[in-house]
Amino acid sequence: MRRKLGIAAAAAILLGVIGGSWLWWAPQAGKGGPGLRSGLVSSVTIGGPFTLQNGAGETVTDADFAGRHMLIYFGYTFCPDVCPTELGNIAVALNMLDDKDADQVAPVFITIDPERDTPELMADYVALFHERLVGLTGTRGQIDKVAQQYRIFFRKVEDPDYTYYLMDHSSFVYLMDDQGGLVSMFAYGTEPENLADTIRASVRGEQPGA
């Protein structure tokens, strides 16, 4: 995405959706904890059931991840900068976890550009970043639904600097717990240490920093 426009648009959408809870909620982002979740759920629900396709073209649903946390990022493989940077940060964070903790979180990259991001392309792309990263695509309708559930903004942009179209899109990373509830929402560029600390605490059922 083009960073400035995407973040501004995402912030505008979030402000619109979350409304008055934003000021209370924003300082908590990235820290997790029960207060964030209960407060957020009172005004807006993030997440929900989905049906998508994995890199082998097989149908996967949220039920396939039952019992594990999910670290979810939305983007597209043609993204020139933001997606590769954020997926790199996610990969660094995953490497900071020991295997036992890492086994309890499924890192998932969901495309918002399914017209170009075929299952095979998604599989090849996520493999560039981390062996644990799962790439998911789907029909336009499936993608629109899951993007709406996560309040993901996106739109196609023609850019004269590129021979192919770009996508403006929200660039938040979501940590969902093993019950499908939102633990934390990370802004683009969150330090990998912060991601790893929050994931580790969450899968262990601890408060971050404890």
| Binding footprint of Ni ion on the chain (CB under 5 A) | 1, 75, 79, 82-83
Q: Which is nearer to Ni ion, 72 or 102 (CB)?
A: 72
Residue 165 CA to residue 158 CA, distance in Å, equals: 5
Closest distance to Ni ion from the beta carbon of 113 (Å) = 9
Closest distance to Ni ion from the beta carbon of 187 (Å) = 14
Closest CA to 197 of 92, 103, 126: 92
Closest distance to Ni ion from the beta carbon of 169 (Å) = 6
Residue 126 CA to residue 140 CA, distance in Å, equals: 20
Residue 88 CA to residue 74 CA, distance in Å, equals: 14
* CA dist 139 → 32, 59, 110 (Å): 32, 11, 12
Q: Which residue is nearest to Ni ion (CB)?
A: 79
Q: Which is nearer to Ni ion, 171 or 198 (CB)?
A: 171
Residue 136 CA to residue 144 CA, distance in Å, equals: 13
Closest distance to Ni ion from the beta carbon of 3 (Å) = 9
Q: Which is nearer to Ni ion, 1 or 106 (CB)?
A: 1
Q: Which is nearer to Ni ion, 33 or 88 (CB)?
A: 88
